[in-house]
Chain A
Amino acid sequence: MEYGIFQIIILSIFINNFVLARFLGLCPYMGVSKQLDSAIGMGMAVTFVMTIASLVTWLLYTFFLAPTYQNIFYTLFSTPIQNVPDLTFLRTIVFILVIASLVQFIEMYIQKVSPTLYRALGIYLPLITTNCAILGVAVLNIDLFFADGLPRDSSFIHTLVQAFSAGIGFTLVLVLMAGIREKLELANIPKPLQGLPIAFIVAGLMSIAFLGFSGMNIE
């Protein structure tokens, strides 16, 4: 039994929310959730980079790293499939370099093509390289949609769907958190709890609420 597209969307946004259940992307979640506007900008930037990064890392993994029948050693140099080098151990190093350069590239491209979009997303892009949610989704795609180095059925589509909905899930909780924190500014909070401590406790309460989704029957 494997999940279809609809299940993957529900799982990544609600049940397995990247921030509240998987603990990925906590730095921007705590750092950029003080204002609603910046939360929306950050959420969009993360969703965008996540999807592109998943696309690129999936292609790299399938065509270069894993001994699949799409591997270029097999398709271009007609190496027998048994002798195609298994480079999957380079996954981490390749993925992080790709993500770092991708972010740079996206930044330059957006700046050139759409100054408006750049003004909205620009300042968040450099922060994204060390956002573990991006590398996290790239690694998870491999863990979930490959078996022993071979892609599972509709692995490519599932990868893109998972990346995009993980980004949406991230944006959702970031925006919710920003809404709450804007209100908290006006609240009378005991001194030791001000700042990060109360933010974590709010996150804990949100996480309890999201835990409710895990009882859903999604089959």
Chain B
Amino acid sequence: MSVMSEFIKGIYKENPVFRLALGLCPVLAVSTSISNAIGMGAATTFVLLSSNIIVSLLMLLFSKILSEGGQKSINKIRIPMFIVVIASFVTIVEMVMSAYFPVLSESLGIFIPLIVVNCIILGRAEGYASKNPLIPSIADAIGMGIGFTLALVAIAFVRELLGSGALLGQNIMSSNFKPVLLMILPPGAFLVIGLYLALLNWLDLRKKES
């Protein structure tokens, strides 16, 4: 049950984008189309999951083989260690993407290497995986990853639909629909996320009142 709740919390209650306002840069930058959003979400989830696993295992290993003093001193270098782990997985994603998904890799551009500074990943590694056993860490990573991906897709849905009159690259609007170019330009990203946040605030306020 508790594993399930670790998994669920990332999707709505502690959604990294809408609730915690973390990892905003890639969310705004690549949400021009749903396929970009899914690609970015999958890449981030992969890095999140792998680094949570490694960090959780590393800390378990240290707690088994080191004395208490040793653990204390290893704690001082845990952040740089986590950064190395995360950066390695990001590099793996970078290489695999440009080798097997060249189109996606080109459209996500520098936001692939920048996954390394996505606050969600270091935040989860440091704040959750380093203090919890393996299975909950996996659940946490997958939940957060899916929450991040859903937020990205939610924003991309509005932007792609209004900005290019399409969903997943398929034209679905009638032929006399004029795309609202602003939506796929940078301002569209700011406006859409602002309105989403306002909507969530409004829902919360209504819940509180009733």
Assembled-state Cα–Cα distance A192/B193 (Å): 13
Contact residues, B107-134 vs A (CB, 8 A): 110, 113-114, 116-119, 122
Docked-complex contact B187 and A207, CB < 8 angstroms: yes
By a CB distance below 8 angstroms, the chain B residues around A200 are 190-191, 193-194, 197
Asked if B24 and A26 sit within 8 Å, CB to CB, the answer is: yes
Contact A204 B24 (CB under 8 A): no
User: How near does chain B come to A196, taking the closest CB pair, in angstroms?
Assistant: 5
Interface SS of chain A: helix
B28 touches A197 (CB 8 A): no
In whole angstroms, how far apart are the Cα atoms of A101 and B79 in the complex? 11
Which residues of B have CB within 8 Å of A93? 84, 87-88, 91
- Closest B residue, CB atoms, query A23: B29
Take A192-B201, A193-B201, A208-B182 as given contacts and tell me if A92 and B24 are in contact as well, using a CB distance cutoff of 8 Å: no
State how many angstroms separate the Cβ of B180 from the closest Cβ of chain A. Answer: 13
Which residues from 38 to 80 on chain A have a C-beta closer than 8 Å to any C-beta of chain B?
A: none
Q: Give complex CA distance A201, B118 in Å.
A: 23
In chain A, positions 162-219 with a C-beta closer than 8 Å to chain B are 191-201, 203-205, 207-208, 211
B residues near A25, Cβ cutoff 8 Å: 25
| Chain B residue contacts of A208, Cβ below 8 A | 182, 187
**Secondary structure type dominating chain B contacts:** helix
Is B83 part of the binding interface, using a Cβ–Cβ cutoff of 8 Å?
yes
- Asked whether, in the complex, the Cβ of A192 is within 8 Å of the Cβ of B116, the reply is no
Q: How many residues of A contact B (CB 8 A)?
A: 43
Chain B residues with CB under 8 A of A20: 186
B110:A100 contact, CB within 8 angstroms:
no
Residue of A nearest to B18 (CB): A196
Residues of A within 8 A of B91 (CB): 89-93
Q: Are B190 and A203 in contact (CB under 8 A)?
A: yes
Can you pick out 16 interface pairs between chain A and chain B where the beta carbons lie within 8 Å of each other?
A23-B25, A27-B25, A92-B94, A93-B84, A96-B83, A96-B117, A100-B80, A130-B119, A139-B113, A193-B198, A200-B197, A203-B194, A204-B190, A204-B191, A204-B194, A208-B182
A sample of 17 more A-B contacts (CB under 8 A), given A135-B114, A200-B197, is: A21-B186, A26-B28, A90-B91, A92-B116, A97-B87, A130-B122, A132-B114, A135-B116, A135-B117, A139-B110, A193-B198, A193-B201, A197-B194, A197-B195, A197-B201, A201-B191, A208-B182
The 8 tightest CB contacts between A and B, nearest first, are A200-B194, A204-B190, A192-B202, A23-B29, A197-B198, A93-B87, A204-B191, A207-B187
Interface residues of B (CB under 8 A from A): 21-22, 24-26, 28-29, 79-80, 83-84, 87-88, 90-91, 94-95, 110, 113-114, 116-119, 122, 182, 185-191, 193-195, 197-199, 201-202, 205
